[in-house]
């Protein structure tokens, strides 16, 4: 026994075990027990919207321990201050003696425990926000994201833990991607570290569970709430989405996966996790083709995040700092690129025809090019500023910012076509994902830098696209849609080629009064001094109707309109010059007599058969 220990020690660098531990082993003294962490999650009165949490810290040496609550949820780039929902924080010894607790900043509690290695922490969390990034509990079910419920001992994010879930009376199901402890039915789970715990949402209640396998990997769908869905159809179609998604990178990193689906009166959105996702959908979305395709697209988007973000990631996105913003220039790739691939996946899986895919892509191009902020903010800047802009829009956001989802999707299409063309139809954006997965996730076990991403694209394409990235990703130059689509024998046609007069403002009648809710940068209303919040009373001496566009129809570019508005209780008369609209409305169509090279690019890009 001793000889085995010495042999192991001689083959192990002291810096790996630590000098103190090495001396303990060599002296024959016992090693200090490693600290352990256990959570108990209770919900004795779910109708009050409270989770109750008990943290059992064992083997924690020192005079004090700081316990922290994250301020944000990875995948949703906004400081949310989850500590605001914490109540009744208290700590005691293993014997039940109260310990002194001091809150030292907005999300940190310091527990004094000199001479005590075992500490029990108890607190409650108010959870009444049912979104994919927060937590919620009521009389019907409980749902939580780890970052908004589970605290962690500072400096111990790598510490494994167990979680015991004690469902409310009458609740029989607990669905999470965390691995259960032991065999048979169990509501106790294990996580390898805090990152995994934070990244494994939990659904608790009496929801329905659907199951299917993808290449031997078990997948589950936890369906909360009533919905007009067909279980067999949903199961089969989700399976198809997952199979097609796995073909992009060609490697399956999973041994299990969970979809949590919330069927709500109004729902929309999803959030990705390491082995799961949460989707919110209108319970009536399954009724219509558009609604159902929207759900499949959402499922494809969040599932593809298994690779793009969770394993193929910018270097800033992990390991996470839960105390502050984690900045990156590359959400246009992580989110917008995922949207590009998810739409491709829906088409590749056969849920829509290539013509419908091209129509939807054109809609995306129109959305980007009709956003004035696209000429102000680059895709990289939109990514970096996500923390202060993406989730905090105001009435001027359309003029100053661009969505990294929208811009990233069309960047993805252009970049993919450039790669396919440069390689004469032999390689595509898929191959870039495969290279990044192998090089940075599997081999180096880290994220990549902005420059390393461009290097990967160059390696696959056989040439560099530095000017493209400089101008159209890190700059605001218009993407060369025409050139890229031309590689595939396609072209854009602007159906609004003739200039038309436009007020350049958005008018809402939601309040029962025509009220300005948006003004387009450099448009007619902008130049004429119309403000957001103005109530429009009259046009050219005539009382304004609910449909101002009809009243302005047919006006010539260069003419003027007199507008009477109420602003802050005062009447103001404005003279507004009617300028030509800068809007575009593209249609995509094939060119006549496409060359064999163009057809080859189109076939590779759209994964066409035959």
Write out pLDDT tens, residues 63-86.
999 999 999 999 999 999 999 999
Q: How far apart are alpha carbons 320 and 274 in whole angstroms?
A: 13
Q: How far apart are alpha carbons 426 and 513 in whole angstroms?
A: 58
Record: fold of 207-288: Zincin-like (3.30.2010)
Neighbours of 404 (CB within 10 A): 32
Q: What CATH number should be reported for the domain whose range is 307-492+591-610?
A: 1.10.390.10
Could you tell me what percent of the chain has a pLDDT over 70? 94
What's phi and psi for 564, nearest 5 deg? -100, 125
In the block, residue with structure tokens 């700059």: 475
Cite the residue boundaries of each domain of the chain with CATH code 1.10.390.10: 307-492+591-610
pLDDT for res 545: 80
Q: Calculate the average pLDDT of the chain.
A: 93
Q: What CATH number should be reported for the domain whose range is 36-205?
A: 2.60.40.3650
pLDDT tier at 267, thresholds 50, 70, 90: confident
Cite the residue boundaries of each domain of the chain with CATH code 2.60.40.3650: 36-205
Q: How many CA atoms lie within 13 A of 395 on its CB side?
A: 14
Helix (H, G, I), strand (E, B) or coil at 383: helix
Rounded mean pLDDT, 454-482: 98
Residue 8 in tokens = 């192991």
Q: How far apart are alpha carbons 502 and 487 in whole angstroms?
A: 35
Q: How far apart are alpha carbons 498 and 224 in whole angstroms?
A: 51
Under DSSP, the state recorded for 597 is H
Q: Which helix (H) or strand (E) holds 433?
A: helix 429-436
Cite the residue boundaries of each domain of the chain with CATH code 3.30.2010.30: 207-288
Range in 202-216, 435-449, 479-493, 532-546 the model is least confident about? 532-546
Q: Looking at the predicted structure, is the pLDDT value of residue 262 above 80?
A: yes
pTM for the full predicted model: 0.92
Could you tell me what percent of the chain has a pLDDT over 90? 88
Q: Enumerate residues 6+ apart whose C-beta is below 8 A from 430.
A: 248, 249
Cite the residue boundaries of each domain of the chain with CATH code 2.30.42.10: 501-580
CATH number for 501-580 (one of 2.40.240.10, 3.10.20.30, 2.30.42.10, 3.30.450.260): it is: 2.30.42.10
Pick 435 or 267 by higher pLDDT: 435
């Amino acid at each position: 026994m001793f000889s085995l220990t010495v042999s192991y020690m001689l083959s192990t660098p002291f810096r790996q075990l630590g000098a103190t531990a090495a001396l303990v082993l060599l002296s024959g003294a016992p090693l200090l027990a490693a600290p352990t962490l256990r959570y108990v999650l209770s919900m004795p009165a779910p109708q009050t919207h409270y989770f109750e949490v008990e943290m059992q810290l064992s083997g924690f040496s020192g005079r004090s321990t700081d316990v922290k609550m994250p301020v944000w949820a990875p995948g949703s780039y906004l400081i949310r201050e989850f500590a605001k929902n914490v109540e009744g924080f208290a700590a005691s010894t293993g014997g039940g003696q109260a310990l002194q607790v001091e809150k030292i900043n907005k999300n940190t509690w310091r527990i004094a425990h000199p001479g005590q290695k075992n500490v029990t922490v108890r607190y409650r969390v108010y959870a009444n926000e049912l979104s994919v990034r927060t937590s919620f509990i009521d009389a019907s079910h409980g749902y939580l994201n780890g970052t908004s419920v589970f605290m962690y001992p500072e400096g111990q994010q790598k510490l494994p833990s167990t979680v015991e879930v004690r469902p409310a009376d009458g609740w029989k199901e607990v669905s999470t991607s965390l691995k259960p402890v032991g065999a048979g039915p169990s509501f106790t789970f294990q996580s390898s570290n805090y990152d995994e715990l934070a990244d494994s949402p939990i659904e608790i209640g009496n929801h329905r569970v659907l199951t299917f396998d993808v290449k031997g990997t078990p997948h589950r769908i936890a369906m909360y709430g009533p919905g007009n869905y067909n279980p067999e159809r949903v199961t089969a179609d989700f399976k198809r989405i997952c199979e097609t998604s796995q073909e992009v990178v060609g490697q399956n990193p999973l041994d299990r996966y969970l979809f949590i689906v919330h069927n709500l009166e109004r729902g929309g959105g999803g959030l990705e996790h390491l082995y799961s996702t949460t989707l919110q959908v209108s319970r009536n979305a399954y009724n219509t083709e558009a609604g159902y395709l929207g759900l499949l697209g959402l499922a494809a988007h969040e599932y593809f995040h298994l690779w793009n973000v969770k394993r193929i990631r910018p270097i800033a996105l992990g390991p996470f700092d839960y105390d502050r913003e984690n900045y990156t220039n590359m959400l246009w790739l992580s989110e917008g690129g995922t949207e590009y691939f998810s739409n491709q996946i829906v088409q590749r899986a056969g849920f829509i025809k290539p013509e419908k895919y091209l129509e939807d892509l054109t809609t995306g191009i129109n959305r980007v090019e009709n956003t004035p902020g696209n000429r102000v903010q680059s895709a990289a800047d939109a990514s970096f500023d996500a923390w202060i802009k993406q989730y905090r829009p105001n009435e001027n956001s359309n003029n100053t910012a661009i969505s990294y989802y929208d811009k990233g999707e069309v960047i993805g299409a252009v970049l993919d076509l450039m790669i396919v063309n440069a390689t004469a139809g032999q390689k595509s954006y898929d191959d870039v994902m495969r290279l990044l997965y192998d090089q940075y996730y599997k081999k180096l076990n880290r994220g990549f830098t902005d420059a390393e991403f461009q290097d990967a694209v160059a390696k696959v394409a056989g040439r560099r696209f530095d000017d493209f990235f400089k101008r159209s990703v890190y700059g605001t130059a218009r993407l060369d849609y025409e050139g890229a689509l031309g590689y595939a024998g396609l072209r854009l046609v602007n159906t609004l080629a003739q200039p038309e007069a436009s007020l350049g403002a958005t008018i809402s009648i939601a309040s029962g009064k025509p009220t300005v809710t948006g003004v387009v940068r450099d448009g007619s209303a902008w130049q004429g001094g119309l403000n957001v919040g103005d109530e429009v009373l009259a046009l050219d001496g005539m009382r304004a109707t609910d449909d101002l566009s009809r009243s302005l129809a047919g006006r010539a570019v260069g003419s003027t309109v007199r507008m009477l508005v109420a602003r802050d209780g005062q009447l103001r008369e404005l003279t507004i010059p009617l300028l030509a609209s800068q809007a575009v409305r593209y249609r995509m169509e094939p060119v006549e007599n496409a060359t064999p090279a163009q057809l080859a690019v189109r076939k590779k890009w759209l994964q066409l058969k035959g």
